[in-house]
Structure 1
């Protein structure tokens, strides 16, 4: 990852820490003014902690003394928590509230970059902040099964409603078991059937868990890889992001130029991630049989052999959504 973005992220962590400390101070002023006893408790805890640290120089029974003082601190903390909770404040109201509790907004856990650090770098490289806005509306909680018909559809064994319920369950389980399986997902079917929506659901769930997710359309992916490989000043190490991220989502497979170069890049990305046990989600509007004729066997064999295939069918739900929105405004 380029030094420029790393420095940007480190400055952001400095800002986050300063912001968290300032907000903590504001909460302290609020609580101390309302409940002076809590200020006294905090001062007494600090004083007792200092006395414990300096007890080695007092020539006393250190072990018992430290035990007694620690019990005193525990009693004070309990009293403080009781005052806060009795007035409907969270017991940790006066603690620093970090954006990431794993690294405490430092970006590092020990000597290793925290997952939030990695995702911030990804966001900068691929301008994914727009995806985060989308995910506020498109997530598992907002998925609407009522848009799918419960009537038989053509020769399909399941109704569109039952089919999407099964796919939805598979997607939820994919995120729940993400660290324990090598499953990859392949979505295919006509446009407007929920493929991108469910991809966004998965992305949000994993982002919330601190996973590093890269989401690109197939055409954008090829464009990015081409520029990274052939432009003189392009940061070549960004190619590794596509290999090492926790989940790579390739949307709209088939919209990229159908050239030997594009096919070679797709194969290299898919094959390398499969070998490394890195997960992939691919979606396409093309029927499966068309993809088998468009792509060479080395790509299709990887998809058919290493992906769970999910077929989307039914009527375009975007039309139903549009109708529902007009009714709601009427």
Structure 2
């Protein structure tokens, strides 16, 4: 990503910090006007803070510095009690952050990029995914088991509704244990079944939840995935740093979701590249979700036994079935 774009993103972070500081300052002003005693206490807390700093610079004794710190702590306790007596939660006067991990700086205390910044950079590179717009509607807040039939279909052991409840139980487990890698447990998912029965919707719901947990997510259709690979492998005159980033992010994101596998043009090149992505992510313990209209046998026929072997050995398969929900 070019330097100008990164500067623009960091400027967004600075504006976010300024905005939150302004909100806090307005809250403090409000409380000072309502409870003048709090204003006096804050003045004492700030004064002692300066005294402590001066004492450290002037190399005062530890005893003197400790005495100042105890005085400041006493005022902080007094402030808390005064707020509570006036029916105000002390947290009301704490800074609100859009991201508590980095406190809206984009970077963690160890100097590494925060996941919120990484995702911001990814989203900018992946405008083609329209993930932000998609997740406004496709999230668990808009999910209901009631749209699935409770009638058991021929050759099926449970109804579509009960089947979806079982899938949801496993999805919840996948989300809850997202940052853990239990030995001998399959930590990736394949959703398969006919079109229009909720596979893409479920992928979107998972993406929204994992994003809110602070992880990085790349969501691409199989067609767009291959387009990204082609741009990287066959570098034309229009090839840019963004194209290279897009390709690298397929391997580095915490979660890669490949939607509609089987709708792209399949040839020896795309099969080889798909295997490379799946295999590399497995080796680096990066999680992957695939949705497809293909059953297990068809995946083996179209994409080779090598890919099928990786999926069977490392992914849990869940069949979606029932009526086409697009016509409800």
TM-score normalised to structure 1 length = 0.88
Residue 234, structure 1, aligned to residue 234, structure 2: no
Q: 2:202 — aligned with what?
A: 198
Deviations 1:34-58 (A, max 9, x none): 2222211111101122223344699
User: Structure 1 runs of 4+ off > 6 angstroms?
Assistant: 56-60
SS of 1:38 mapped into structure 2: helix
Report the 3-state secondary structure (helix = DSSP H, G, I; strand = E; otherwise coil) of the residue aligned with 2:190: strand
Partner of 1:15: 15
> Following the alignment from structure 2 to structure 1, what is the Cα–Cα distance between the partners of residues 204 and 264?
20
Give, in angstroms, the shift of residue 65 of structure 1: 4.3
Map residues 177-256 of structure 1 onto 2, 5 A cutoff. 177-181=177-181, 183-229=187-233, 230-232=235-237, 233-235=239-241, 236-256=244-264
Decide whether the 8 Å contact of 1:5 with 1:124 is kept in 2: no
Contact map agreement 2:188 2:288 (CA 8 A) in 1: yes
Deviations 1:223-254 (Å, cap 9, x if unpaired)? 12212332343222432111010000000001
Q: CA deviation at 1:280?
A: 0.5
CA contact (8 A) 1:160 1:313 kept: yes
Question: Shift of the alpha carbon at 1:11?
Answer: 1.7
| Equivalent-residue separation in structure 1 for 2:253 and 2:56 (angstroms) | 50
Partner of 2:269: 261
Query: What is the rounded CA distance, in whole Å, between the counterparts of 1:221 and 1:155 in structure 2?
Result: 35
TM-score between both structures, scaled by the size of structure 2? 0.89
Indicate if the aligned counterparts of 2:125 and 2:245 stay in contact, CA closer than 8 A.
Answer: no
- Tell me the distance in 2 between the aligned counterparts of 1:188 and 1:133: 24
From the superposition, tell whether residues 152 and 57 of structure 1 become closer, same or farther in structure 2 (CA, over 3 Å): closer
Shift of 1:145: 0.6
Distance, in Å, in 2 between the alignment partners of 1:294 and 1:20 is 53
1:41 alignment counterpart: 41
Contact map agreement 2:126 2:246 (CA 8 A) in 1: no
1 CA distance for matches of 2:326 and 2:87? 44
Unaligned runs of 5+ in 1: 321-330
> Quick check: 12-21 or 48-57, which moved more?
48-57
Cα separation, 1, equivalents of 2:149 and 2:124 = 40
Q: Which residue of 2 aligns with 1:77?
A: 76
Aligned partner of 2:306 among 287, 295, 298: 298
Question: Is the 8 Å Cα contact of residues 5 and 121 (structure 1) preserved in structure 2?
Answer: no
The verdict on how the C-alpha distance between 1:156 and 1:22 changes in structure 2, with shifts beyond 3 A counting, is same
**How far off is 1:87 after superposition?**
4.8
Answer whether contact 2:257 2:290 (CA < 8 A) is retained: yes
Distance between the aligned counterparts of 1:45 and 1:272, measured in 2? 54
For 1:4-26, what per-residue CA distance to the aligned partner results, in whole angstroms no more than 9, with x for missing partners?
44223222212212222222222
Cα distance, 1:257–1:30 mapped onto 2, change above 3 Å: same
* Aligned counterpart, 2:124: 124
How many residue pairs align between the two structures?
319
**Separation in structure 1 between the aligned mates of residue 135 and residue 250 of structure 2, nearest angstrom:** 21
Equivalent position SS for 2:309:
helix
Measure the CA separation in 2 of the matches of 1:186 and 1:59.
63
Give yes or no for contact 1:212–1:245 (8 Å, CA) kept in 2.
Answer: yes
Change (3 A) 1:155 1:273: same
Structure 2 gaps of 5+ residues are none
1:128 to 1:41, Cα distance in 2 relative to 1, 3 A: farther
- Per-residue deviation, 1:155: 0.5
